[in-house]
Amino acid sequence: METKNHTLDPDERIYRKLVDSPFFQTYRRAFINATGLGLVLVSADEEVEIADQGGRFTGPFCKALNENDTACRCCQLEHRCIAREVGDKAETRTCYAGMRETLIPVRAGNKNVAYLSTGQVFTASNTERDFTRVAEQLRRAGLDEARLDELAGIWKATPEFGLERYEGTITLLAAFALQLSELLNRLLTEENNSEPQIVVKAKRFVNAHIEEKLTLDAVASHVGVSPFYFCKLFKQATDMTLTEYVNRRRVEWAKRKLINPNSRVTEVAFDVGFQSVSQFNRSFLKYVGVSPTRFRGTGVQAGGHLERLIRFANGTSLGPLHRGRGESKWPSMAFPSGTVDACQASPA
């Protein structure tokens, strides 16, 4: 497997590492057992085949319709359409057969690298369903009557999942997608880890003291170089200033804390090292796209139980939640490059 991975395109190699990770595999098993829904991690690159998950179609009707070489063209087009509509949040669509499917993005910066795909179930009651229109669509696709009768039986036997239950499940899955994105960023860092040791050492120092007041002088002194040289080297290696790096780290830590529905934005801001609530709000909005209050209030807090499951299932693979002296709060993580401020020696 390792030898094969070296011959893959970098994007496909990262995707396969995500699929093969114990973190994803453990959660996937737990999700399927708990909900009865399928869960597949699909690459955002349409040319990359789904790896080791039994295919994209997991619902009984969808699976039967697309088995062997008789893939439904409508299903394929539907998936491509929904994949292209996914931005930075979940996208749900109901197909011509009345099945609801949802894709949730797994992102590295502003780029969708993969999607968590689930659903392919009814959220409408049996009395609101009619196979007649579905059969007409399948006839146009070239299916004979014997095949239609077989599919009709599977279609009618598919139970209703329930809209409220489905939406709650998607909320939990969206919380998991955030955690999976963090793992993705760590894998990307490992994939491209050619940073100078001075930068690596500086990041470790920052992570170990993230809740404290950090200055360029203090970090440069720790790694044994002048502030001017460190500033230049850090910018070249990471494409961001020290201040931006520290703020991104603090925001990532804040996101974890805000999953707790009892957390207070003001307390979180100071807990993660920001010197003022206004600075915290600006940074959070810049890197997450929504305010801290809205992030906490959009249902992400429903991931509290999920967070505990992730910690139990994955051990320390996302970084220790409690650390001893000098230990980092998180593993190394790559962040998207973008517009960065001029290198400043002001406190982070």
Q: What is the pLDDT of residues 189-241, one digit of tens each?
A: 776 666 788 988 898 899 889 889 999 999 999 999 999 999 999 988 888 89
75 in the same domain as 111: yes
229 in the same domain as 91: no
The CATH number given to whatever domain includes residue 111 is 3.30.450
261 in the same domain as 135: no
In a domain, 6, yes or no: yes
**Does the pLDDT at position 309 exceed 70?**
no
If one counts the domains in the chain, the total is 2
275 in the same domain as 174: no
Give Cα 318 to chain centroid, integer Å: 13
216 in the same domain as 145: no
In a domain, 339, yes or no: no
CA 177, CA 108: separation in Å to the nearest integer? 11
- Provide mean pLDDT across the span 73-80: 66
> Which among 105, 23, 98 has a CA at the least distance from the CA of 59?
98
- Provide mean pLDDT across the span 282-298: 85
- Provide mean pLDDT across the span 276-281: 93
pLDDT tens-digit readout, 312-325: 334 433 333 333 33
The CATH number given to whatever domain includes residue 304 is 1.10.10.60
Mean pLDDT of the chain: 77
Strand ordering across the sheet containing 100-108 = 39-43, 111-121, 100-108, 91-94
11 in the same domain as 152: yes
Residue scoring higher pLDDT (25 or 316): 25
159 in the same domain as 17: yes
Q: Domain range holding 147?
A: 2-184
> Which among 119, 190, 175 has a CA at the least distance from the CA of 296?
175
217 in the same domain as 137: no
125 in the same domain as 36: yes
Question: Which pLDDT value is given to residue 194?
Answer: 61
**Does the pLDDT at position 52 exceed 90?**
no
210 in the same domain as 117: no
In a domain, 58, yes or no: yes
In a domain, 297, yes or no: yes
Length of the chain: 348
In a domain, 219, yes or no: yes
141 in the same domain as 215: no
Question: Which pLDDT value is given to residue 243?
Answer: 92
